[in-house]
Homo-oligomer: A and B are copies of this chain.
């Protein structure tokens, strides 16, 4: 779990100086909030990890509640942006359906689901969603509310083009995502970084089963 700010964001120094510290704070805050929960996260710990004085945090971001809100907004934005960037590579008119869908699945796992932003976010929402109902609503709107329909739309396209047999694209989307996560949740729930090699395997497993269920029989 060490150095996950860097892991999430390597370009700290391309921003204007003021934004630089602000980003450092937000990254550190995301880490600490995720590790310790809202109650357990101390401003001092965040300041220390960000390499910044406590006062600077109060100057730039106000109190703890507001800091938390800003962190979640930022991470939500980054996370959904990444997700849709990958979704744009969905194989809508594939030559080799299984191969291309497997490749896409691997990308989705790598860049959107395993990615630190998404993981931190899910954990934060699960932990603190009850304490910040508004935030939870926002997340639901941008997370499941937009992602699942988007996936469903792609799958529906594949079905229309004759590749798949679907009666309920929305359900198929939820099940496809669930299959992708099948091998993940088991122990990656915690900090365990999933090795590259396994990701390809997981993508292949999920895709194979999904297609066994939904590929149009020729």
Contact = CB atoms under 8 A, between A and B. Distances in A.
Interface of A: 1, 35-40, 123, 125-127, 129-130, 136, 140, 144, 148, 171, 174-175, 177-179, 181-183, 185-187, 189-191, 205-206, 209-210, 212-214
The interface centre, meaning the residue of A38, A40, A125 with most chain B CB atoms within 10 A of its CB, is A40
A179 to B, nearest CB: 6
Given A126-B126, A214-B212, A186 B144 contact: yes
Nearest to A36: B39
Contacts of A175: 179, 182, 205-206, 209
Query: Which has the most chain B C-beta neighbours within 10 Å: A39, A127, A129?
Result: A127
A213 B38 CA distance: 42
A186 B127 CA distance: 15
Given A187-B144, A205-B171, A212-B212, A38 B35 contact: no
A129 B189 contact: yes
B37 A190 contact: no
Q: 7 closest pairs, A vs B, by CB?
A: A39-B40, A178-B182, A212-B213, A213-B213, A37-B37, A178-B178, A39-B39
Contact of A129 (B36, B129, B190): B190
22 contacts: A36-B39, A37-B40, A37-B127, A38-B40, A39-B40, A40-B40, A123-B126, A123-B127, A125-B189, A126-B126, A126-B127, A126-B190, A130-B191, A136-B190, A171-B183, A175-B205, A175-B206, A175-B209, A178-B178, A178-B181, A212-B213, A212-B214
Main secondary structure of the interface of A (DSSP, over half): helix
Contacts of A187: 140, 144
A218 to B, nearest CB: 14
A171 B201 CA distance: 11
Contacts of A140: 187
A206 to B, nearest CB: 8
Given A36-B39, A126-B123, A183 B189 contact: no
Nearest to A133: B190
